[in-house]
C-alpha cells in the first residue's frame, strides 16, 4: 500500500483534510503574502535544487525576485 499523497491536504483547527488544488494554492499564496506584509520581503527565501533544470532554477529565482521582492535564494549547486 502506497502512502503517497494524491490530493492536496490543508490543516483546519489542527486537523488535516483533503482540499482542491485551487484551495491549496490559495492558502500557499496567502501565506507568502502574509509573511511579506508582516515582515517584509527579506523574510521570504527559496531553495532550489541542482538536480532540476536550469529553466526551473531560473523560474524560482525570477519568482522570488519579481513577485516577492526577495534576493534570498539558495541552492545546492555549490556542493
pTM of the model: 0.73
Q: How far, CA to CA in Å, does 11 sit from each of 30, 71, 74? A: 14, 29, 28
Residues 56 and 77 in one domain: yes
Residues 33 and 46 in one domain: no
Residues 35 and 54 in one domain: no
Per residue in 1-37, pLDDT (tens digit) is 578 989 999 999 999 999 999 999 999 999 999 999 9
Which among 58, 30, 24, 64 has a CA at the least distance from the CA of 46? 64
pLDDT of residue 70: 95
Per residue in 28-61, pLDDT (tens digit) is 999 999 999 999 999 999 998 888 888 998 999 9
Q: Return all residues near 70 (Cβ < 8 A) that are at least 6 apart.
A: 41, 42, 43, 44, 45, 46, 64
**Structural domain contains residue 53:** yes
pLDDT confidence band for 78 (50 / 70 / 90) = low
Amino acid at each position: 500500500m502506497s502512502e503517497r499523497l494524491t490530493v492536496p491536504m490543508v490543516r483546519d483547527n489542527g486537523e488535516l483534510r483533503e482540499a482542491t488544488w485551487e484551495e491549496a494554492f490559495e492558502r500557499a499564496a496567502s501565506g507568502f503574502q502574509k509573511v511579506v506584509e508582516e515582515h517584509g520581503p527579506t523574510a521570504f527565501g527559496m531553495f532550489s535544487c541542482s538536480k532540476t533544470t536550469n529553466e526551473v532554477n531560473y523560474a524560482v529565482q525570477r519568482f522570488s525576485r519579481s513577485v516577492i521582492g526577495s534576493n534570498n535564494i539558495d541552492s545546492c549547486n555549490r556542493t
